[in-house]
């Protein structure tokens, strides 16, 4: 028995924003609760989604304004109507991102007007603020200053605010109290709605499976509040940035642009920032995928002025010390290592020394030799198998765009015909010895490349795919999935 999961299970991969509903993106409302009920009909008992933090304008959940905060755009405004903080008429018509923001502000005004006269609400709010002060105070001010500077990056603020001069921070907090209170309200409401969803999932024996980017965004409360931990200079610009060298996804590598960690500085206090970060995520999730796990062993260092990932050098990271600190503080580590790409023996040893499962992607399995670790015959129990991830094409898109050799190899291994896709690959994932099998919602719906969620290394046209409606409880996809989940003891 592994420490991260209790028995063989299967998951559906669907980000919250992809849920259907009346707002500009999916939210933590009725549709999220309905999705739990719906996927259970297909025999799935794990819901995997992407990071939950507030995003920049391009919408990538891997580039967040805070690694601790929740995305207020995921708040279900219908809950504010029920609480009496918003008029139902405010939700008539199409609710764009801007309309959602306006409604959140209206709800925030009424919330603060009622807090003093509602002792239970006041106590809940004060408890939340006290428990989360270690990140909430900085994030609320950071978010407020982003608003008053018309979304300028923090290193473009006045020197006093950029450099966190105490007197300047105190003055800003006094001047902008209404905006700060709005941020606190949104985070409080997000926490309440998320907890309600998580509690409901637990009542149905459904595990919530989250995702943690290895790095944080340059323009984030995390870097602004803790500059000593990151590779930035005295005026806030990155001296070195994160990314990966040329690989399967990109001939020029990827320049992610995130600042890297000053690991030696972090080690001085026992990696307390990392412990707080992971502990915060595990308040939300039952399991956590650690994106780009390789960077805990060694990481690609790109000069800050480079435009791609070609120029760079590998540098060692104290991954063993970090993971041991996490284990000492948290007990078990219900974490999955995203170990894709060019993985060295040292990375595998690090992962295995903490019994962390790795990932097996079936889209990568075919067209090569028998030693390919993604081939079904090479899967191991302590792993998580996917048809594809959010960074892959859909299975239908992948198969139709694959060369004839890859297609034929896949069909031979699967014992299938082309018309059996994507279900032949879904069945292969569910049959795998891997303890957890993850199927993207797009594959269950047999969708093509039009439903691809993200193209790595690109900024535009991503993160926008969305369900128009949840499949009905008697949908063919759930019927097929249930048969397979039962057959393969999931």
pLDDT, tens digit (0-9, with 9 covering 90-100), for 22-61: 999 999 999 999 999 999 999 999 999 999 999 999 999 9
Give the 3-state secondary structure of residue 460.
Answer: coil
- The stretch 414-439 carries a mean pLDDT of 98
Asked if 181 contacts 109 with a C-beta cutoff of 8 angstroms, the reply is no
User: Rounded to the nearest 10 degrees, how much is the dihedral formed by the CA atoms of 434, 244, 464, 290?
Assistant: 40
Q: What confidence score (pLDDT) does residue 249 get?
A: 67
Angle between helices 166-175 and 177-203 (to 10 degrees): 80
Q: Which residues of 196-217 are buried (b: 16+ CB within 10 A; e: fewer)?
A: bbbeebeeeebbbbbbbbbbbb
Residue 17 CB contacts under 8 Å (≥ 6 apart), including other chains = 25, 26, 59, 61, 73, 74, 463, 466
- The stretch 263-277 carries a mean pLDDT of 98
User: Per this entry, what is the length of the chain?
Assistant: 490
Residue 94 burial class via C-beta count within 10 angstroms: exposed 0-12, middle 13-18, buried 19 and up: exposed
Report d(CA 156, CA 300) in Å as an integer. 27
- The stretch 409-431 carries a mean pLDDT of 98
Has residue 108 got a pLDDT over 50?
Answer: yes
Name residue, tokens 């990314």: 243
Name residue, tokens 């295995």: 352
Tokens (6 digits) for 466:
């969305």
Strands 313-316 and 298-303: antiparallel
Q: What are phi and psi of 389, to 5 degrees?
A: -105, -175
Q: What confidence score (pLDDT) does residue 81 get?
A: 97
Has residue 118 got a pLDDT over 60?
Answer: yes
Tokens (6 digits) for 96:
């764009």
Residue 231 C-alpha from the chain's centroid: 23
Has residue 421 got a pLDDT over 50?
Answer: yes
Report d(CA 27, CA 41) in Å as an integer. 22
Tokens (6 digits) for 407:
């297609």
Q: Which of 259, 213, 249 is nearest to 457 (CA)?
A: 249
- The stretch 340-369 carries a mean pLDDT of 95
Has residue 214 got a pLDDT over 70?
Answer: yes
Q: What confidence score (pLDDT) does residue 1 get?
A: 43
% pLDDT > 90, the chain? 93
Tokens (6 digits) for 313:
């050098």
Task: Give every strand in the sheet of 298-303, ordered side by side.
Answer: 254-259, 240-244, 298-303, 313-316
Q: What confidence score (pLDDT) does residue 2 get?
A: 62
- The stretch 338-360 carries a mean pLDDT of 95
The CA-atom distances, in angstroms, between 280 and each of 10, 136, 209, 377, 454 are 25, 12, 14, 37, 26
Q: What confidence score (pLDDT) does residue 250 get?
A: 80
Q: Left, alpha or beta for 367 (phi > 0: left; psi -120 to 50: alpha)?
A: left
Global pTM value: 0.97
The full 3-state SS of 277-306, as one line of letters, equals HHHHHHHHCCEEEECCHHHHCEEEEEECCC
Active-site residue set = 291, 338, 391
Q: Left, alpha or beta for 31 (phi > 0: left; psi -120 to 50: alpha)?
A: alpha
Residue 11 C-alpha from the chain's centroid: 15
Q: Left, alpha or beta for 205 (phi > 0: left; psi -120 to 50: alpha)?
A: left
Give the 3-state secondary structure of residue 212.
Answer: strand
Q: What confidence score (pLDDT) does residue 237 get?
A: 97
Has residue 393 got a pLDDT over 90?
Answer: yes
Residue 429 C-alpha from the chain's centroid: 22
The total of other beta-carbon atoms located within 10 Å of residue 90's CB is: 16
């Amino acid at each position: 028995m592994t420490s991260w999961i209790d028995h063989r299970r299967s998951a559906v991969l669907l980000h919250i924003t992809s849920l259907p509903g009346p707002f500009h993106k999916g939210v933590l409302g009725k549709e999220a609760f309905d999705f739990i009920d719906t996927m259970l009909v297909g025999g799935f008992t794990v819901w995997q989604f992407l990071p939950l933090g507030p995003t920049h304008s391009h919408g990538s959940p891997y580039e967040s304004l805070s690694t601790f905060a929740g995305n207020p755009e995921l708040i279900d405004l219908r809950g504010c109507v029920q609480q009496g903080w918003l008029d139902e008429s405010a939700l008539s018509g199409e609710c764009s991102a801007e309309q959602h923001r306006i409604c959140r502000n209206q709800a925030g005004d009424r919330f603060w007007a009622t807090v003093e006269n509602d002792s239970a609400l006041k106590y809940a709010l004060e408890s939340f603020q006290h428990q989360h002060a270690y990140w909430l105070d900085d994030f609320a001010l950071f978010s407020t200053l982003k608003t008053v500077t018309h979304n300028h990056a923090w290193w473009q603020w006045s020197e006093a605010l950029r450099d966190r001069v105490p007197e300047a921070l105190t003055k800003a907090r006094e001047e902008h109290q209404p905006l700060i209170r709005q941020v606190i309200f949104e985070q409080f409401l997000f926490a309440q709605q998320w907890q309600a969803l998580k509690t409901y999932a637990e009542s149905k024996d459904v595990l919530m499976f989250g995702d943690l980017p290895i790095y944080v965004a340059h323009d984030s409360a995390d870097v602004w509040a803790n500059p000593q931990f990151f590779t930035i200079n005295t005026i806030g610009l990155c001296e070195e940035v994160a990314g990966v060298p040329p690989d399967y996804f990109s001939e020029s590598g990827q320049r992610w642009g995130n600042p890297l960690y000053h690991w030696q500085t972090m080690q001085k206090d026992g990696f307390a920032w990392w412990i707080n970060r992971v502990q915060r995520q595990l308040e939300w999730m039952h399991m956590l995928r650690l994106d780009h796990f390789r960077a805990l062993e060694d990481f690609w260092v790109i000069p800050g002025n480079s435009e791609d990932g070609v120029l760079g050098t590998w540098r060692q990271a104290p991954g063993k010390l970090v993971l041991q600190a996490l284990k000492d503080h948290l007990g078990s580590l219900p974490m999955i290592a995203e170990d894709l790409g060019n993985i060295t023996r040292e990375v595998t040893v690090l992962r295995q020394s903490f019994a962390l499962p790795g990932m097996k992607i079936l889209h990568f399995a075919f067209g090569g030799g028998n030693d390919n670790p993604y081939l079904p015959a090479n899967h191991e129990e302590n792993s998580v198998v996917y048809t594809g991830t959010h960074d892959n094409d859909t299975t239908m898109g992948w198969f139709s765009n694959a060369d004839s050799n890859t297609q034929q190899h896949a069909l031979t291994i699967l014992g299938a015909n082309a018309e059996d896709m994507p279900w032949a690959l879904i069945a292969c994932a569910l049959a795998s010895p891997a303890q957890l099998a993850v199927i993207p919602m797009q594959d269950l719906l047999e969708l093509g490349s039009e439903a691809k969620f993200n193209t790595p290394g690109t900024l535009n046209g991503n993160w926008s795919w969305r369900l128009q409606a949840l499949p009905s409880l008697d949908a063919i996809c759930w019927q097929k999935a249930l048969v397979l989940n039962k057959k393969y003891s999931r």
